[in-house]
Amino acid sequence: MSVQSTTRRLTTRDISRLRERGEPIAMLTAYDCVMAGLLDQSGIDMILVGDSLGNVVLGHETTLKVTLADMIRHAAAVTRATERALIVCDMPFGTTIDPDTSLRNAVEILQQTGVQAVKIEGGLAMVPTIERLTGYGIPVMAHIGLTPQAVHQLGGYYTHGKATEAADRLLREAKALEQAGAFAIVLECIVPDVAAAITAELSIPTIGIGSGPGCAGQVLVINDLIGLNTRPAPSFAKPRADAARLVRAAVADYIAETKAAALQTRAGAA
């Protein structure tokens, strides 16, 4: 007799209801079974299997080298480890070049991983793609502002929406993406007042990262949250722990104990 879990996984409707009743939405990234399981057990609402794994896990300078196979492997691991959180998988660079290609790749992601939604970077150009995917029954989280896959076109990482024209463009993009069928939208590194204004204009949840507290929810890279980095975290991330220090201390203790035991063995043999 098989044992079935009584835990119900959250859906996009549940996430929408959080926005409707004014309850902030909590989202974090995860890339492996252990971390995903810990986040799920802690009660996180959504987990993003982000292409930030290129930076955080694989050691690349940008997300551009992350492949569809990379995303599928890590998203499947995250899904296997979780029961409650809604899982969203990034569609990596080069997989959303047109609506039909995007649909094929999104179908593969859902079939191979079991995630509940995909995330697509980009503004007005992604409207036809989001319409295509949502028309096929695939939930899509949109993403505007700082879009790391376009880092070379953008000319680096910086805050968006400082000029009136730029702020107006972001609002137009957000409204168009909502109209296209996105169930939520990430606002990354957008001037806080602009992000709050966009949130007020939309009925779908906005998930902020480096965009101030006026969004309907927040997302962070888990390593930035717990201080598990070898490089400084972004200025907007407030580490709640120093996991890197704990790891270094544990490893140093292990090294010292191992070497001391070896020396004692040699001394006894002598």
Active site residues: 188
User: pLDDT below 50 — which residues of the chain?
Assistant: 1-3
Q: How many C-beta atoms surround the C-beta of residue 216 within 10 A? A: 23
- State how far Cα 84 lies from the chain centre: 16
pLDDT at 167: 97
Q: With b meaning 16 or more CB within 10 Å and e meaning fewer, what string describes 126-165?
A: bbebbbbbeeeebbbbbbbbbbbbebeeeeeeebbbeeee
Task: Give dist(CA 119, CA 107) in Å, integer.
Answer: 13
Give me the chain's average pLDDT, please.
95
pLDDT at 19: 97
Q: How many C-beta atoms surround the C-beta of residue 25 within 10 A? A: 23
User: What's this model's pTM, rounded to 2 decimal places?
Assistant: 0.93
pLDDT at 263: 72
pLDDT at 7: 80
Q: Enumerate the domain spans of the chain.
A: 12-239, 242-270
pLDDT at 77: 98
pLDDT at 2: 45
pLDDT (tens digit, 9 = 90+) per residue, 139-170?
999 999 999 999 999 888 999 999 999 999 99
Domain 12-239 coded CATH 3.20.20.60:
yes
pLDDT at 6: 62
Number of H helices, E strands in the chain: 11, 8
- Closest by CA to 235, choosing from 157, 151, 167, is 157
- In the chain, the DSSP E strands lie at 25-29, 46-49, 86-90, 117-121, 140-145, 184-188, 206-209, 217-220
pLDDT at 5: 55
